[in-house]
């Protein structure tokens, strides 16, 4: 039996119509995965830069303090979010508890939590804080744009630990 040419075209059109939504979802998922990865990389870089900066005291100077570190972290994260709450200084070493030590971020928001040992305001003391722990955490809420219209928020965090 020989198929007519019009039937083959109709069949191809139906198959394409069935496959197209799946392909669109796949492409949208890959784009969201890329956006999520850029969030993770940006927060990791910001946490690392913040820890390096706040612990950047020498034998004769104190650390720069929380406000200066906040400006650096905010500048690092400007490409992915403008809603940044920073910093929350925590009085104990990690792990930090959401709702107790810092406010959990909502979608599109980033929250910075810092532990600077016994230092008040992460300014340090010349000899008292030598080799004490400095922890910078960046918590974030990531909303999807494509797949579910922003209805899903994924929370994550990046951390860096260094010493004075």
For residues 129 and 111, give the distance between their C-alpha atoms in angstroms, rounded to a whole number. 25
The string of pLDDT tens digits covering residues 82-127 is 899 987 888 888 889 988 999 889 888 899 998 887 776 777 655 5
- State phi, psi for 137 to the nearest 5 degrees: -115, 140
Mean pLDDT of the chain: 82
Which among 49, 46, 102, 41 has a CA at the least distance from the CA of 77?
Answer: 46
Which among 131, 137, 139, 98 has a CA at the least distance from the CA of 115?
Answer: 137
| CA separation, residue 105 to residues 63, 82, 84, 102, 110 (Å) | 27, 13, 9, 9, 6
Would you say residue 23 has pLDDT above 90? yes
Would you say residue 59 has pLDDT above 60? no
pTM of the model: 0.76
The string of pLDDT tens digits covering residues 3-20 is 566 687 888 899 999 999
């Amino acid at each position: 039996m020989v198929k007519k040419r019009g039937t083959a075209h109709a069949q191809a059109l139906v198959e394409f119509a069935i496959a197209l939504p799946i392909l669109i979802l796949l492409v949208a998922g890959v784009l969201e995965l890329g956006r999520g990865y850029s969030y993770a990389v940006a927060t990791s870089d910001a946490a690392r830069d913040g820890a390096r900066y706040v612990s950047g005291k020498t034998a004769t100077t104190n650390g720069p303090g929380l406000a200066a570190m906040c400006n650096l972290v905010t500048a690092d994260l400007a490409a992915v979010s403008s809603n940044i709450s920073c910093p929350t200084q925590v009085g104990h070493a990690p792990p930090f508890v959401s709702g107790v030590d810092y406010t959990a971020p909502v979608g599109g928001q980033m929250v910075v939590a810092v532990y600077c040992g016994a230092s008040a305001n992460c300014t340090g003391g010349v000899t008292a804080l030598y080799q004490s722990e400095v922890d910078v955490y960046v918590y974030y809420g990531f909303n999807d744009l494509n797949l579910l219209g922003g209805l899903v928020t994924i929370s994550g965090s990046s951390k860096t630990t260094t010493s004075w």
